[in-house]
Chains A and B, each alone.
Chain A
Amino acid sequence: MGKYYKDTEELYTIYGYFLDNILKDPKIGSKLAKAGIVIKFVYTDPDAEITIDLKNPPKKEGYYGTFYLGKCDIEADVWSSQPADHSHRFWHGLENPIAGVAKGIIKQGGKVTAMLKLLPVIKPTFQQFPIALKEMGREDLIVTK
């Protein structure tokens, strides 16, 4: 098991809360929706899978996309696989995704270029991730440099 999440359920709880915030954020969510793609994140240690659908109409009103925790049948346009710890640090703005690919820590496939275009869009969320952890009472998971 990795350093930050004790199990898959804990990972889903945290990412679920965070993504719920992001996908209804008018500034970030609206820009994400422009990508018009389905992204699948595959995590290891703990094993988990999260799909973000920015292509189909959102399932909930007031949201710019839909996310699914766990395996789902929606076909992904692009996928990315990495250790959950690496992702956790990434959302704090502490990991360079290009370096992650160069070192083989992150594996990707599909319309990678479409996902890369989202990097500038999600940059503001790096400040929101620690805030989300704090709101959840999980200050223990906040990573500093």
Chain B
Amino acid sequence: MYGNTGKVIYINCSTGKTEIVSLDEDVYKNFIGGSGLAAKLFWDYADFDADPLSEKAVLILINGPLAGVPLSGTSRMSAVARSPLTGALAESSCGGYFPPQLRYAGYDGIIISGKCTVPSIIHIAHGSFNIVSSEELWGKTVGEAYVKIKEQYGERSRTLIIGPAGEHGVSYACILSDAHHAFGRCGLGAIMGSKNIKAIVIEPHKTIMKYFEEQKVKSLIKELTPRIKEYIISQVLHEFGSAGNLEGHMYTGDVPIKNWTSNFNEEMAEKLTGSTLTEKYLTKTGTCAYCVVACKRIVKVDEGPYSIPEGPGPEYETVAALGCLLGSSDLAAVCKAGRLCNEFGLDSISTGATIAWAMEAFEKGDLTEKDTGGITLRWGDMPTVIDTIIPSIARKEGPLGQLLSKGSRLAAKSINNNLIKYTAQSKGLEAPMHDPRGGGHGHALAYAVSPRGACHVSTAMHFMETGACNYPEIGFEFDLEALTDEKKPETMVLATAIGSIENSACFCQYADRSLTFAEMVGILNAVSGYHYSLQDALDAGWRIYHLKRLINHRFGLRACDDALTERMLEPARDGEPQGIMINFDGMIQRFYELMNMDNVEGVATVDTLHKYGLEQEAAIVWKKRK
């Protein structure tokens, strides 16, 4: 086997049983790796009746086939489980330095089931892996635990750690890699916490990888690296971070403000954009393994109420979710709120979105001090957000902490079903910080049909709609007008496959933007020997997409769950997209037709599933239906 090792660690935390699962080459070729392979293993290993935080639930982490290759944006992995936030398939992707070390250690991934009797860590070193009791780490923040682990296992060890939010089962707790990079979405940190696993630690291993075509891989790395570095998007990311274009996004109406009630704020555009962050607080840039883009921010706020020591800084989603969405243009406060989310192990998008929902509900009188435990919620009140709300969510403390720890959809439901109208989510996953009403109507479709819920990285639509990529070799060579539905369903069909490939091959969606589709497939073939034609790769992408939808079907989701909330579809009140309606129903209907999906069941027809080799899976889902 090339690229991949063919070996996945299996650990049952309840019994202490550990084994190495060997996988056939065909499984890799059919499901690529990363998110796709994890979904396939989830299908095989999951108990579909299990509560996401129960002992029976599984958490699966799988490397991309390219993890460990010294090429920008390829050393990533995906995690898959059932989400405690949505009840649907959870998935999240993460870069950093853990994935290549896992590959060099000889493994492609880890399947975790059961529950340890005491707080523990999973330790991987020199051909062995085991569960080690680590009660002393429980209750510590991510940063504190990170320091302790480094002291014990060495400076060069790599880590996946949860914070107090994961320990307390907050529905949107995340997993931090080396206290900076995050499996941010869907509450995977809560699942790790429910298994009493505080951290996964891997010690450094010798860099060994076998490529299918050694020389070709080397020449591709040589050819692609300067192109990736010089690409315009990479330059912006390097200099200003992922918030580099916040200002530009603001003028298109892409940035949601005050819980999606506004699409324009000039002051926020100037004060929160990436160049301001660079100018005021950046101390140095950070990066994932082998990446020349280096989009990560290391920041320090020297003085004032929001001073923080040098450490990980906010990326775009965090800036918008903890700034614009909460009605604040105080960048220092955003840095501090973002840092708190990291330390507690909270997804900053869902944190910001859920607080923003609560602020609006409070303003309208639908949420009262009785619900909040006497806490007053006001737009832009960052001292309360930082000192009270975020810590109380992370520890599920008090009425407000308990309420908001459920995420916006469940919090709204628990007060009054009518309050769902001003949540911004799909399938229960809070939408990221790109408002389809201004950013592009295709985003609305992408959010709705993404298996994990409102997500801008499940598919390539975000970048295709904004013109950042161009794939004539697979028929995408037309310009898209952002604020119309024209050609969006057709684009979405391709975007679905490309997104699946990106998340399964684990290409970083920033670093791969300057690559042609043929080059993406080319590097995959040269490393792993998959022998994909372009069509084979697209088919693998669609196979994975359909499999994920079958998983969701087994969790009870149907076509009607491919929906957006009232707030996300009402005409924008200001800014560039003011008054424009999204033809959401038309787009989704056409997408279903093009994908041969049943418009009630929400999964592909039997014939379509057979076309992608999902006969057994189709039999289970469609037989159950009959």
Contact = CB atoms under 8 A, between A and B. Distances in A.
A3 to B, nearest CB: 17
B248 A116 contact: yes
A1 interface: no
B244 A102 contact: no
A127 interface: no
Contacts of B235: 112-113
B369 interface: no
B232 A112 contact: yes
Interface stretch (B145-153, B321-329, B466-474): B466-474
B247 A96 contact: no
B269 A113 contact: no
Nearest to B266: A120
B469 A116 contact: no
A120 B251 contact: yes
B247 A117 contact: yes
A108 interface: yes
A71 interface: no
Contacts of A112: 232, 235-236
A99, A108, A113, A119: which has the most chain B beta carbons within 10 Å? A113
Contact of B468 (A102, A108, A117, A119): A102
A123 B248 CA distance: 10
Interface in B311-343: none
A74 interface: no
A77 to B, nearest CB: 13
Nearest to B481: A145
A120 B239 CA distance: 18
Contacts of A108: 232
Nearest to B514: A102
A103 interface: yes
Interface in B215-232: 232
Contacts of A141: none
A72 interface: no
A99 B247 contact: no
B477 to A, nearest CB: 8
> Could you tell me the dominant secondary structure of chain A's interface residues?
helix
B250 interface: yes
B596 interface: no
A143 interface: no
A93 to B, nearest CB: 11
A136 interface: no
A98, A100, A112: which has the most chain B beta carbons within 10 Å? A98
Given A103-B470, A113-B244, A98 B232 contact: yes
Contacts of A103: 470, 477
B467 A98 contact: yes
B245 interface: yes
Given A96-B479, A99-B479, A123-B251, A116 B232 contact: yes
A101, A108, A123: which has the most chain B beta carbons within 10 Å? A101
B265 interface: no
A93 B563 CA distance: 32
Given A113-B235, A120-B250, A123-B251, A99 B245 contact: no
Given A96-B479, A113-B239, A101 B232 contact: yes
Interface in A76-107: 96, 98-103
Interface in B28-63: none
B308 to A, nearest CB: 26
B268 to A, nearest CB: 12
Contacts of B469: 102
B357 interface: no
Given A112-B235, A113-B240, A120 B247 contact: yes
A103, A108, A120: which has the most chain B beta carbons within 10 Å? A120
Interface of A: 96, 98-103, 108, 112-113, 116-117, 119-120, 123
Q: Which 5 A-B pairs have the closest CB atoms?
A: A99-B467, A120-B251, A96-B467, A102-B470, A98-B467
11 contacts: A96-B466, A98-B232, A99-B479, A102-B467, A102-B468, A112-B235, A113-B236, A116-B236, A117-B247, A120-B248, A120-B269
Interface of B: 232-233, 235-236, 239-240, 244-245, 247-248, 250-251, 269, 275, 466-470, 477, 479, 513
Given A98-B232, A116-B232, 13 more contacts: A99-B467, A99-B468, A99-B479, A113-B235, A113-B236, A113-B240, A113-B244, A116-B236, A117-B275, A120-B247, A120-B251, A120-B269, A123-B251
